[in-house]
Amino acid sequence: MPSRTVLSAEDLRRAATRIAHEILESTVSAGANPVRELILLGIPTRGVVIAERIAAIIAAHEPGFDATKSVGRLDITMYRDDLSMKPSRPVTETIIPTQGIADKVIVLVDDVLYSGRTARAALDALKDFGRPKAVKLAVLVDRGHRELPIRADFVGKNLPTSRDERIGVKLVEIDGVDQVVIES
C-alpha cells in the first residue's frame, strides 16, 4: 500500500499543544476548575498515549494539575455496534482515575475520528462509570465521513480523505516514530 506522510513529529507536537490549550481555555471559560474537575480518558490504543501527552502539556501550564491522576483509559470494545462484522479485538482494562468521573469535565481522546461509531461507543461505556458534568471529544485527526451526528470539540488536524484511504497514526511509544500517514 503506498503511503504519504501528512504530519511529522513536529506537527504532532504542535497539534497536541494546541488541543491542550483549547481544553484548558474551554474548561476555564465554562466555569470549571481544570485542577479539580478535568479528566482525560484515552480510547485504546493510541488515544491513551495522546491523552497522556495532552495531560503533560496541561500540567506544564496549569499548576496543581496532576497528569498522572487525571488520565485514564476507556475500553469501548464491548460497546461497539460492529462486533459481528469485525474480527474480535482484545478487551483491555478500563482505568478510571480514583476521583471518578461524577461531576467532572471528561475529555474523551482518540487518534482518528471517522464514522463517529467509536465516539458513540465511548459515550455508552462512560455511562457505566457515573454521570459527568460535561463530556467533550478530542481527536488528533478528523478525516470526515461521519455516519452519526458526532463532532469533535478539539481537533489537531482536519484531513479530508476518500473512503478508500486509511489514516495511519504512528506514535513513538508504540511504533517507534511520530507521524501520520495516508495509505491508499
pLDDT tens digits, 75-133: 999 998 877 776 667 889 999 999 999 999 999 999 999 999 999 999 999 999 999 99
**All domains in the chain, ordered by first residue:** 9-165 (3.40.50.2020)
Res 90: pLDDT = 82
Amino acid at site 120:
R
Whether the pLDDT of residue 55 is over 80: the answer is yes
CB 142 within 8 A of CB 113: yes
Q: Which residues pair with 157 in a beta bridge?
A: 141
**Are 4 and 182 in contact, with CB atoms under 8 Å apart?**
yes
For residue 5, report the phi and psi dihedrals to the nearest 5 degrees.
Answer: -75, 125
At residue 83, the pLDDT reads 72
**What cell does 33 get?**
476548575
Length of the chain: 184
Question: Looking at residue 85, what is its pLDDT?
Answer: 73
Q: How confident is the model at residue 137 (pLDDT cuts 50, 70, 90)?
A: very high
Q: What is the DSSP letter of 129?
A: G
Give the helix ranges, DSSP H, for 89-180. Answer: 117-126, 172-175
Q: What is the mean pLDDT of residues 148-172?
A: 97
State percent of the chain over pLDDT 90: 89
More confident residue, 32 or 179: 179
Tell me: pLDDT of 70 over 80.
yes
